Amino acid sequence: MENLTHLNWAAVVVAALVGYFPGALWYSPIGFLKPWARELGVDLSVKPEGVGLKVATGLIPALVAAIVFAMIVGPYPSLHHGLVMAAEVAVGFIATSFAIQYLYERRSPTFWLINSGYHLLQFLLMGTVLALWP
């Protein structure tokens, strides 16, 4: 395991938050909620339970992702490096992993685009924060 002392922990925490919370807009009525729900078979007239706990719990993997991403881009990355690495991680690992999984789950390309697109945005935002943090 790499030594984590070189990480700018304030930047990592902010990157995790900045990358995580746009999902609230991405998967909202002004975003992709309706096509996402349709593809997943979710009835939007039924109020979901435990949303607060899910949001809070989701912060844990978001923080882990930000930590690992900060380890990948290294200390003080340029904006170009942060964005290129974000695209490589999101497209090269996340989107392709979803593609394999969704193929066997018989999910549509629309569902893949919605979910992969969010993670591309997430990592682009994290790369931007890590690069621009003073």
- For residue range 62-89, list pLDDT tens digits in order: 999 999 999 999 999 999 999 999 999 9
Which two structure tokens, joined as six digits, stand for 24? 């609230």
| Cβ atoms of residues 16 and 62 within 8 Å | yes
1, pLDDT greater than 90: no
What is the C-alpha to C-alpha distance for residues 37 and 111, in angstroms, rounded to an integer?
9
What is residue 124's predicted lDDT score, i.e. its pLDDT?
Answer: 98
pLDDT per residue as tens digits for the range 85-110 = 999 999 999 999 999 999 999 999 99
* Cα dihedral 8/11/14/20 (nearest 10): -90
What is residue 2's predicted lDDT score, i.e. its pLDDT?
Answer: 64
Torsion over CA: 92, 94, 95, 100 (sign): positive
Mean residue pLDDT across the chain: 96
pLDDT per residue as tens digits for the range 8-67 = 999 999 999 999 999 999 999 999 999 999 999 999 999 999 999 999 999 999 999 999
Residue 14 carries which side chain, given as an amino acid letter? Answer: V
| Cβ atoms of residues 47 and 94 within 8 Å | no
What is residue 3's predicted lDDT score, i.e. its pLDDT?
Answer: 74
Whether the pTM exceeds 0.75: the reply is yes
